[in-house]
Amino acid sequence: MTAAPPATVPLPPATGAWQEGDPPGRRQWHVREQALPLEAGGELPGARLAYETWGRLAPDASNAVLVLHALTGDSHVVGPNGPGHPTPGWWDGLIGPGRALDTDRWFVVAPNVLGGCQGSTGPSSRRPDGRRWGGSFPFLTQRDQVRLEAGLADELGIGHWALVIGGSMGGMRALEWAVSRPDRTRALLLLACPAAASAEQIAWAGIQLRAVRSDPHWTGGDYHDRGPGRGPHAGLGLARRLAQVTYRAEPELRSRFGRTAQGDEDPWRGGRYQVESYLDHHAAKLARRFDAASYVVLTEAMNSHDIGRGRGGTRAALRRATARTLVAGVDSDRLYPLDQQRELAAGLPGADTTRVIESPYGHDGFLIETEQVAALIGELTS
């Protein structure tokens, strides 16, 4: 009997962005018709913000919780994958009846960040004239992103958030909420994030940006309407591989993979080690669910993060916050190390000592150690 030929894997689309006409899934949209002024200059001629909600808003709107995602996250915090949602919820286990964010008590809102690619306005979106933004999408900062999120809160009738939660890039926006809108932020949970991006963090991110822009399919960011396999997947994959190493911890990689070869591949003859296969998997997965130009826009926004810019420095800016605050870091995080969370806790009037999430998983520990995160949420909501 002749063996069946191996199954071929379909090429990824030019962009993994959610597109008009795709199933909406659980998404809703906030639409800003008027121009959105941008911190770096210029404006967006209107914008949309995709978001999801769980629970019911109280008559006095006092039970609203804002959850802000990290770099390649989106509004789908919990729930299965399915039409409109290529992956299951990235923080499953935290939202729902009887969970840390009990939806019998709390109304939880999670937007997809401005500049993202899962329903919110970003490089893969179309301008008013119908053309894609592509590489001409403007430079964004956290202040621009929070301005649009504040419009969402206004539309929902939420005058203040009972709690704002964010980790990594989401923590940057959560901190911006507390500093720029202290009257609208009652409690704050900051996870694995800094007051400002450090030189080392900018360096790691800069290499990733160079990888994406060096891909021959990048062509200045204008690739979105090409056929499958014709997006800058190689560059995005290199960026993701590098990022994934910074997201995890060396002891975990050592114990999990060691020097073991992948299957029957021989690294001495062009084969891979298991850890290389692991990185290849994450690179391929991201190409199918994310947009390379959004990766660039959001990474540049993270590099711009400096809560003290134009506010008299970090200490002066942090003193503006009035929220009851918990700041937590991951003990094995080498990307956003604990010293940065200690600086935040020392400068925020509503914070005490830094809480430590114990985890072997590095920066990703804030996403993985849901029981420890749930305990922190419980401290702020009890």
Per residue in 131-152, pLDDT tens? 999 999 999 999 999 999 999 9
Q: Quickly state the pLDDT bin for 75 (edges 50, 70, 90).
A: very high
What is the predicted pLDDT for the residue at 118? Answer: 98
- Find all residues with CB under 8 Å of 180, minimum gap 6, and list them: 143, 146, 320
Range in 3-7, 66-70, 103-107, 190-194 the model is least confident about: 3-7
- Residue 1: its pLDDT value, please? 43
Using the predicted structure, report yes or no on whether residue 202 has a pLDDT greater than 70.
Answer: yes
Distances (CA, A) of 10 to 81, 83, 201, 302: 19, 18, 34, 32
What pLDDT is attached to residue 209? 98
pLDDT at 6: 52
Given this model, what pLDDT does residue 117 score?
Answer: 98
**Band (159; pLDDT cuts 50, 70, 90):** very high
**Cα–Cα dist 319/335, whole Å:** 25
Among 118-122, 329-333, 347-351, which is the least confidently predicted range? Answer: 347-351
Residues 315, 343: contact at Cβ < 8 Å? Answer: no
pLDDT at position 9 is 76
User: Going from the N-terminus, what domains does the chain have, and what CATH number goes with each?
Assistant: 28-198+306-381 (3.40.50.1820)
Residues carrying an active site annotation: 168, 333, 363
Q: What is the mean pLDDT of residues 105-121?
A: 98
Alpha carbons within 13 angstroms on the beta-carbon side of residue 63 total 17
Q: Does the pLDDT value for residue 332 go beyond 80?
A: yes
Average pLDDT over residues 166-175: 98
Q: What percent of the chain has pLDDT over 70?
A: 98
User: pLDDT averaged over the chain?
Assistant: 96
**Residues 172, 170: Cα–Cα separation, whole Å:** 5
Mean pLDDT of 169-196: 98
Give the β-pairing of 47-54 and 107-111.
Answer: antiparallel
H-helix or E-strand spanning residue 54: strand 47-54
Tokens 């030019």 belong to which residue?
14
pLDDT tens digit sequence for 218-277: 999 999 999 999 999 999 999 999 999 999 999 999 999 999 999 999 999 999 999 999
Residue 221 buriedness (CB in 10 A; 0-12 / 13-18 / 19+) = buried
Q: How far apart are the first and last CA of the chain?
A: 66
Q: What angle do CA 188, 194, 196 make, to 5 degrees?
A: 120
Percent of the chain scored above 90 by pLDDT? Answer: 96
pLDDT score for 278: 98
Mean pLDDT of the region 79-104: 96
Q: Could you read off the pLDDT of 92-109 as tens digits, one per residue?
A: 999 999 999 999 999 999
Residues 6+ apart with CB under 8 A from 22: 84
In whole angstroms, give the CA distance from residue 240 to residue 292: 10
3-class SS at 174? helix
Q: What confidence tens digit (pLDDT) does each residue in 316-326 have?
A: 999 999 999 99
